[in-house]
Amino acid sequence: MGWRHVVSRRLRALFRRDAVEREMEEELALHYELAVEERIRGGEAPRLARANALQEFRGADGAREMYRDARGTGWVERLAQDGRYAVRTLVATPAFTIVIIATLALGIGANSAVFSVVHAVLLRELPYEAPDRLAMVWETDRDSGTEREGASIPDYFDFRARARSFVSLAAFRPVPMNRTGDAAPERVWSARVTREFLTTLGVTPVLGRDFVEAEAAPGGPPVVLVSTRYWRTRLGAEPAVLGRTLRLDDSLFTIVGVLPERFHFPDDEVELWAIDQMTPTSGERFRHHISVVGRLASTASVRSAQQEMDGVARALEEEYPQSNTARGVYVEPLEQVLLGDVRPALLLLLGAVGVVLLIACVNAANLLLARRAARAREIAVRAALGAGRGRLVQQLVVESGVIALAAATVGLLLAQLGLRALVAIAPRSLPRAEEIAVDGTVLMVTLGVSMAVALVFGLLPAAGGQQTTPAQTLSSAGSRTGTGSREHTRLRNLLVVAEIAMAVLLVAGAGLLLRSFWTIRGVNPGFEPENTLAVRYQLPPSRYPQSFSNYPAGWERTFAFQRDVLERVRAVPGVRRAALAFNDPLTPGFTNSFLIEGREPEAAQGQAEVPTRPVSAGYFAAAGVPLLAGRDFAESDAVGDPPVLIINQAMADRYFAGTDPLGHRIRFWGTTREIVGVVGNERFDGLAAEAPPAMYPPIAQAPATLGTLLVRTAGDPHALLPAVREAIWSVDRDLAPFDVRTMEEAIDASLAQQRFLALLLAAFGGVALVLALVGVYGVIAYSVAQRGREIGIRLALGATSRRVRRAVIVEGARMAVVGGAIGIVLALGAGRLVRSQLYGVSAADPLTLAAAAGLLIAIAILGSAIPAWRASAMAPGEVLRGS
Amino acid sequence: MSNPDRELLQGTLDLLILKAVSATPMHAWGLTQRIREMSREVLSVNPGSLYPALERLQDRGWIEPRWGVTENNRRAKFYQLTASGRKRLEVETEAWRRLVVGVNAVLRTT
């Protein structure tokens, strides 16, 4: 007995429902028959007896329902009953059902897809222990305004010794390494990291161990940690990998550990982390080539750490004025460093796709509203028969819930497909792209969103029908339309206006991004990207000694490589020109401060740093950068020859305005160089940034172990790739060329984020247009159907069909104009969100906004045209008879 | 169930049903007849109240159903009192008597 008894009774009621119901019917039937017999025995005529007994049973159903209520499983059954009812009515109107589910599925699917991206990239915790306690420690340069520069090795050791705000500080520097020994040389993105690397990040290897102290000491055994991905794809996923050696840049590194699957640092591309056995004397204080990441002490915050580091930096300025004057420190949360660049773009996308969902909701609400207006009588009858208001609303919500669930299912399938396309066109720089998937969280969020959506579009129509009583609805039995229709009409018009406004917002956003994309694509990069192949290489220090302190002593092999590789590549048939540069066009490379001879006082006030790109003779011709004055480098500008320099037009304008820069001498890297030429401006940091002042020293007079081989070809650059690669290998068999691409591809890649955003917003805008078209069409068609009598009368009284057409179209256009105006206001308000993503076009660009609104008005007219034509073609007599 | 009238009514109906099935198992229609007879045609129970009450009493474990045959050989569901139902009937009867005595005393006061 007790609760167990109750539970078993209810369970039986739930799961053996048919049996229980049959018994119930049998019981009631007997009751009824016995009651009738009793009445007949009492002298009533059989027919009357039956009627009276029925009266007593008024609504045997009612009794049964109460019966179920008493059992306490009522709500479950009512829900199931409503669900069955909803499915039945939805199946009965397939066209309606398909349109509404497709509309919502589109909205939900697009949201799930974009949310999957946002979730994987922005929301998921970074794969480190307590990632919010991690911060990058940059050095800054007040002279040049640089905020995020690397640290120097001695500075790093001083930070470690002095800072109390960090439990540990690790240094790292990403380097491409050549892996040789097995097959063709392979370039592996790696990082040299200090002993504290894993302890700072709070990560333990899934296989093997962390570095140990002995391995961090200079001359200790070189060891390396590998990523799970590298272990799987390159090392055969063998557990016995520990202790194996990898030949990297001609040194043998022993694998001591495999890091967890999700672990990435600092980006997705790095596969190996090799021990850096640095000491305070392994680098000069003026070379800022390492990055520092630290874990905050439990007592410190980013702000307090910043304060402490300001003090440390000031002390270093005093102690080492030569190298550290104007140097500060910037403590930046790691999360901001890793994700800060993509966050605004992704949030913009999430916002846009949210608007798409809202539009879909509004459309669905409109469709439901039309349907419920048609079902007003049915609902009124049920209300008259005693169904409570709550019960009716519940039924409506259950119906929209069923629709939303179906839409969520279809939407998730769409999301799966869309996600694949999304990831395919996503910029390569998107962090954690490989983790993007429709996972449990996305599923739950989609479900949650769908239910919220169901409530919104389910309750909107319910709210519209509130004012009418069943009696009103039923008494207007003659006309086909319920009396609720006036409120409904107003609500539906309102919804369409809202929908158009939101569509204008999206289309305007898409328009702005597209215009911005086209503008940026039309930018002259300052070089000729056609038929140009770029191949990067990194000369390993083992075979190419690279001591910076006594440059150029010991750099002979590097110079020889540069000479030989150019000679071999130029000999390849089909190669028109070849040249070397420290870094290829469009990538900023490094910047340098400098001193113009005879103008030292200027420099004392703080001199800006400018991009400095060492290039070989023939670079400007190969890249297609015009020589404006003076001469190009020649083979005679080699190491040991008088140092020379070429500057760009921007530098000439900024520092030598009104004078001839040729013959002036500029000092940097401890050498004074004479300006021998001025070249046109080429863009240095992608297409969006204006060309900065820049300097080009000859690569033969600069320490450069990293380089780009630029090859201008007669025909398809790709076809020459094998020959070019062979030419490189003929000089150095163990060198792995990487980042092979044409300059046109490089330009495309530099625009990847803009293209991604523009494409997606254009797609969302397109969806919004289609939905708006459907929305306007639906409302106008419904309004025409409703006013069939009125239109018929007008036609019968002699209105021309043209006038009828015009009246209908004006109705649609009026909504569009109001919606368009609101949309422009919305777009102006949202400008802040999109501004950071625009180039060469204002967020309030009147042309784009007006075009968006105009487009929607055109769409609205199109949407009203079909119903208008249908209305004007009605035969008046038929319409009047019909009702 | 905050309405005191309804609570009283329901409690009374439960008491009547428990009493009606206390002598012999009854089916639903029989119950309505029996209550009418016992109350000398004063009280009648309609199906709308009867069935929920029967469900409630079953849930509490005071009555239990058993399929049987009527005097006219028809299959019917008979409700009979359980052991705890019998105890409950005594408690409820006692409570009712006290209530009646109390209410009468109040009404007699001038």
- Please give, rounded to a whole number of angstroms, the shortest distance from the CA of A471 to a CA of chain B: 26
Say if the Cβ atoms of B48 and A38 lie within 8 Å: no
Among chain B residues, the shortest Cα distance to A38 is held by: B33
Q: What is the DSSP string of A200-247?
A: HHT---SEE----HHHHSTTSPPEEEE-HHHHHHHSTT-GGGTT-EEE
| Residue A25: CB atoms within 10 Å | 12
A303 in Cβ contact with A309 (< 8 Å): no
Mean pLDDT of A676-704: 90
The structure tokens listed for A492 are: 């539906």
Confidence of residue A368 (pLDDT cuts 50, 70, 90): confident
Least confident stretch, A349-358, A608-617, B40-49: B40-49
With a pLDDT cut of 90, the percent of chain A lying above it is 38
pLDDT digits (tens, 9 = 90+) for A119-176: 888 888 899 999 999 999 999 988 777 788 899 999 999 999 999 999 999 999 988 8
Check residues A340 and A568 and name the one with the higher pLDDT.
A568
Three-state secondary structure along B29-93?
HHHHHHHHHHCCCCCCCCHHHHHHHHHHHHHHCCEEEEEEECCCCCEEEEEEECHHHHHHHHHHH
pLDDT at A370 exceeding the cut of 80: no
pLDDT of amino acid A95: 83
Say if the Cβ atoms of B51 and A66 lie within 8 Å: yes
Nearest by CB to A66, from B27, B48, B76: name it. Answer: B48
Measured between beta carbons, the chain B residues lying within 8 angstroms of A70 are 51-53, 55-56, 59
Give the highest mean pLDDT range of A244-248, A376-380, A553-557. A244-248
* Chain B contact present for A240, CB below 8 A: no
Nearest by CB to A70, from B46, B47, B55: name it. Answer: B55
Say if the Cβ atoms of B61 and A31 lie within 8 Å: no
Least confident stretch, A602-606, A694-698, B13-17: A602-606
Measured between beta carbons, the chain B residues lying within 8 angstroms of A34 are 29-30
> Is residue A523 classed as helix, strand or coil in its secondary structure?
coil
Say if the Cβ atoms of A27 and B76 lie within 8 Å: yes
Confidence of residue A619 (pLDDT cuts 50, 70, 90): very high
* Chain B contact present for A37, CB below 8 A: no
pLDDT of amino acid A389: 67
The structure tokens listed for A800 are: 């021309």
Backbone Cα Rg of chain B: 15
Say if the Cβ atoms of A66 and B33 lie within 8 Å: no
Confidence of residue A463 (pLDDT cuts 50, 70, 90): low
pLDDT of amino acid A238: 87
pLDDT at A13 exceeding the cut of 50: yes
Confidence of residue A638 (pLDDT cuts 50, 70, 90): confident
A633 in Cβ contact with A698 (< 8 Å): yes
Mean pLDDT of A243-271: 91
What angle in degrees, to the nearest 10, is found between the helix axes of B47-60 and A60-71? Answer: 20
Phi, psi at A512, each rounded to 5°: -60, -45
Entry field: residues in chain B:
110
User: Is the torsion defined by CA of A292, A296, A302, A306 positive or negative?
Assistant: negative
A613 in Cβ contact with A702 (< 8 Å): no
b/e per residue, B41-65, with b = 16+ CB within 10 A? eeeebebbebbbbbbbbbbbbbbeb
Tokens 């009793």 identify what position?
A38
From CA A419, how far away is CA A416, in angstroms rounded? Answer: 5
- Please give, rounded to a whole number of angstroms, the shortest distance from the CA of A437 to a CA of chain B: 49
Nearest by CB to A30, from B29, B56, B59: name it. Answer: B29
Chain A segment 607-636 residues within 8 A of B by beta carbon are: none
pLDDT of amino acid A727: 93
Among chain A residues, the shortest Cα distance to B44 is held by: A56
Say if the Cβ atoms of A63 and B48 lie within 8 Å: yes
pLDDT digits (tens, 9 = 90+) for A193-251: 999 999 999 999 999 999 999 999 998 999 999 999 999 998 888 888 999 999 998 88
DSSP structural state of residue A58: S
pLDDT at A461 exceeding the cut of 70: no
Least confident stretch, A443-452, A798-807, A850-859: A798-807
pLDDT of amino acid A2: 59
The structure tokens listed for A156 are: 């790093």
Say if the Cβ atoms of B74 and A30 lie within 8 Å: yes
The structure tokens listed for A700 are: 């033969």
Among chain A residues, the shortest Cα distance to B29 is held by: A31
β-strands A695-696, A223-226: how paired? unpaired
* Chain B contact present for A5, CB below 8 A: yes
- Please give, rounded to a whole number of angstroms, the shortest distance from the CA of B85 to a CA of chain A: 12
> Is residue A295 classed as helix, strand or coil in its secondary structure?
strand
pLDDT digits (tens, 9 = 90+) for B93-102: 998 899 889 9
The β-bridge partners of A168 are A295
Omega cis (within 30) before B25: no
Say if the Cβ atoms of A67 and B53 lie within 8 Å: no
Say if the Cβ atoms of A27 and B77 lie within 8 Å: yes
pLDDT of amino acid B3: 37
Q: Which is nearest to A313 in space by CA: A165, A173, A162, A170?
A: A162
pLDDT of amino acid A824: 93
pLDDT at A626 exceeding the cut of 90: yes
DSSP structural state of residue A290: B
CA A520 to chain centre: 20
From CA A420, how far away is CA A437, in angstroms rounded? Answer: 9
The structure tokens listed for B37 are: 């007879």
Contact residues, chain B to chain A, C-beta under 8 Å: 27-30, 33, 46-48, 51-53, 55-56, 58-59, 61, 70, 74-77, 84
- Please give, rounded to a whole number of angstroms, the shortest distance from the CA of B98 to a CA of chain A: 28
pLDDT of amino acid A467: 46
Measured between beta carbons, the chain A residues lying within 8 angstroms of B10 are none
pLDDT digits (tens, 9 = 90+) for B65-94: 888 888 888 888 899 999 999 999 999 899
Confidence of residue B37 (pLDDT cuts 50, 70, 90): confident
A860 in Cβ contact with A500 (< 8 Å): yes
pLDDT of amino acid A70: 53
pLDDT at A409 exceeding the cut of 70: yes
Measured between beta carbons, the chain A residues lying within 8 angstroms of B84 are 1
Confidence of residue A752 (pLDDT cuts 50, 70, 90): confident
pLDDT of amino acid B2: 36
* Chain B contact present for A63, CB below 8 A: yes
The β-bridge partners of A648 are A679
Say if the Cβ atoms of B47 and A28 lie within 8 Å: yes
Among chain A residues, the shortest Cα distance to B62 is held by: A1
Q: Rounded to the nearest 5 degrees, what angle is found at the Cα of A623, between the Cα atoms of A620 and A625?
A: 55
From CA A21, how far away is CA A32, in angstroms rounded? Answer: 16
Measured between beta carbons, the chain A residues lying within 8 angstroms of B52 are 66-67, 69-70
Mean pLDDT of A500-523: 92
DSSP structural state of residue A480: S
User: Is the torsion defined by CA of A199, A204, A207, A208 positive or negative?
Assistant: positive
pLDDT at A510 exceeding the cut of 90: yes
Return the amino acid letter for A74. Answer: G
pLDDT of amino acid A470: 52
What angle in degrees, to the nearest 10, is found between the helix axes of A440-464 and A389-425? Answer: 140
Least confident stretch, A71-80, A90-99, A207-216: A71-80
The structure tokens listed for B53 are: 């009450």
Write the CA distances from A765 to A62, A248, A352, A420, A759, integer angstroms: 51, 50, 9, 20, 10
Per DSSP, helices labelled H in A708-845 are 717-731, 743-750, 752-786, 788-796, 801-829, 831-835
Mean pLDDT of A528-533: 92
Nearest by CB to A67, from B46, B51, B70: name it. Answer: B51
Query: How much is the pTM?
Result: 0.73
Mean pLDDT of A596-614: 77
pLDDT at A482 exceeding the cut of 90: no
Tokens 């790739």 identify what position?
A721
Say if the Cβ atoms of A71 and B61 lie within 8 Å: no
Strands, E, within A284-417: which ranges?
291-296, 327-333
* Chain B contact present for A2, CB below 8 A: yes
Among chain A residues, the shortest Cα distance to B51 is held by: A67
With a pLDDT cut of 70, the percent of chain A lying above it is 89
Mean pLDDT of A772-778: 86
Q: What are the residues whose beta carbons fall under 8 Å from the beta carbon of A539, sequence distance 6 or more?
A: A546, A558, A561, A705, A706, A707, A732, A735
pLDDT digits (tens, 9 = 90+) for A557-569: 899 999 999 999 9
Report chain A's mean pLDDT, rounded to a whole number. 85
The structure tokens listed for A385 are: 């028969």
Write the CA distances from A619 to A592, A624, A692, integer angstroms: 20, 8, 18
* Chain B contact present for A56, CB below 8 A: yes
Confidence of residue A796 (pLDDT cuts 50, 70, 90): confident
pLDDT of amino acid A883: 45
- Please give, rounded to a whole number of angstroms, the shortest distance from the CA of B100 to a CA of chain A: 28
* Chain B contact present for A311, CB below 8 A: no
Q: Which is nearest to B84 in space by CA: B54, B106, B108, B63?
A: B63
pLDDT of amino acid A74: 61
A848 in Cβ contact with A758 (< 8 Å): no
Q: What is the DSSP string of A838-878?
A: -SSS-TT-HHHHHHHHHHHHHHHHHHHHHHHHHHHT--HHH
From CA A27, how far away is CA A826, in angstroms rounded? Answer: 64
pLDDT at A387 exceeding the cut of 70: no
Give the highest mean pLDDT range of A378-382, A453-457, A582-586. A582-586
The structure tokens listed for A42 are: 């009492």
